[in-house]
Structure formats: structure tokens, C-alpha cells
Amino acid sequence: MNRFRYLSVLAALGLTLLSGCSSPPGQPRKGSETLAPNEVLEFGTLFGQNCAGCHGAEGRGGAAIALADPVYLGIADDAAIRKVIANGVHGTSMPAFAQSAGGMLTDKQIEVITSQIRSRWSRPGILNGANPPSYAAKSTGDNQRGEVAYKTYCASCHGTTGQGGPKGSAITNDSFLALISDQELRTVVITGRPELGAPDWRGNVPGKPMSDQEITDVVAWLASHRVQDPGQPYSASNPQHQDSAENSSSGQLREGHDLGRAANR
């Protein structure tokens, strides 16, 4: 190879290298930077990191309901879903994600999650002709009618009083009720938990879908089992509890104990 050709090849190579490099040496190449958490707009990452722990991988359900449920998405609109994601549900484990509510996600990220839950997991038209109940209750429910509805539609699986049965867990249990909102009870009665074998509002009694009013009433009946101090192993009428309450109010043991705790603080 003669000297001239050698140089021109080098020059061509140099040009190619230069034109291929858009950023100066030492700087990361385009696309190789790690995004700051509030810049992530990829649905899979956002859902995986923030939601899947409770709502399941791919939204298929976990401790909390499946969001990849076309029946749920046929009933809940974007406004309802967005509101829950942004503000959470007070008194339950559903956290608030909007920065305005103390969360970590931007409005843009919440919009990506809300819109893609629908675009990926809904099946438009799935409830055509099904006359679906409304997402939110339209009236206050009636306990007594709710009990009748419970016996008709639910007792076969959840037991005669909601204490749990062969096919469904305890749903009048005070600890369970303390951690779930009335809306969520309604949602679950409407959509069921398909991933766990719980029927939707049409399937409890084959051929006899629940009416909107029956759903409202059964939720009122369930909610009537809420108690002031959920999760207490004893009640005031329990003699053992009364004994210990008397002992501690008259005895010095309690005072000493409290003092000890105060000193430890």
C-alpha cells in the first residue's frame, strides 16, 4: 500500500469515527443514561415497581384485586382509577402516589399508568348487553335487605353469617373489614376475584344477576359488622378482660409498669 492511499484510508476512518460520535469523549452515549425516578415513563417499569407488589405481576391480582380484569375496567372509568392512584384510599394499604398527596409519582407518570391499564387490559364492549351495576353506590344501602341478599347470593360460599365457608373466606370479620373500604367491597361484589374463583355479580346464583340495589344493600350489611376497636382479642363483655381491667385500675402493678415505660422513653 503506498503512502498516499494509506493516509486517505486513515482520513476516511477518522471522518467516520467523528461523524459516529455525537457526544464528546467522556460523556455517556445517548440512551445509556439511567433515568431519574421521576423521569421513568415506561409502563412496565412503573407498574412493576409501584403496583405489582399488591396487585400482582401484570396486574393479575395479589393481596389486592386484579387490575388486568376487563370486567373491572368495564365498570371503573379513568377518573375513578386516577383518583385512587393519586390519593390512595385512606385507612387501607392503598398508598397515595401523587406528589401533591405525599407520593413519589408525577402527574405525567400517573397518567401513563392510568391510560395504559386501560389500553393494555380492557376489552371494550365486554359488558355490552349486561346492564352492569354502577361503580359507585347511588344510594345508601339497607341492612335488612342486605342480609336477605347475603343469604341469597353469598352464604353458600362465605358461610351463613359471613364467618367463612368451604369456598370463601371470612368477610364479616372485624379485622378484615377494618382494612377495606366500602367502595372496595362493592367493587369485589361486582367484579368478583376471577383469579381466585370468586364470581362476579352475575355468577353467584346462575341465571340470577344481582340488582344494583342488592349490591348496595349487601355492602351496607357487610359494613354494619365494622366495630370501633377492630382486632381486639377480647370484648368488654368478656369476663377475663373485666378481671384484668379491674386489677390494673386498682393495683399498683399497672402504675409501676407505666412508669417503667415512661422512664424508658
Residues that bind ligand HEC (CB under 6 A): 50-51, 53-55, 64-65, 67, 76, 81, 84-85, 89, 92-95, 97, 113, 153-154, 156-158, 167-169, 171, 180-181, 183-185, 187-189, 193, 196-199, 204, 218
Q: Decide if 106 contacts 37 (C-beta within 8 A).
A: no
Backbone angles phi, psi at 93, to 5 degrees: -85, 0
Question: Please, what is the minimum distance in Å from the beta carbon of residue 233 to ligand HEC?
Answer: 21
Smaller CB separation from ligand HEC, 230 or 241: 230
Smaller CB separation from ligand HEC, 182 or 248: 182
> Among candidates 106, 204, 177, which has minimal Cα distance to 97?
106
Backbone angles phi, psi at 242, to 5 degrees: -60, -45
Question: Please, what is the minimum distance in Å from the beta carbon of residue 129 to ligand HEC?
Answer: 22
Locate 56 and state its grid cell. Answer: 400482582
**34/28 Cα distance (integer angstroms):** 10
Smaller CB separation from ligand HEC, 148 or 157: 157
Smaller CB separation from ligand HEC, 38 or 235: 38
Question: Please, what is the minimum distance in Å from the beta carbon of residue 51 to ligand HEC?
Answer: 3
Q: Decide if 92 contacts 180 (C-beta within 8 A).
A: yes
Question: Please, what is the minimum distance in Å from the beta carbon of residue 59 to ligand HEC?
Answer: 8
Locate 78 and state its grid cell. Answer: 379513568
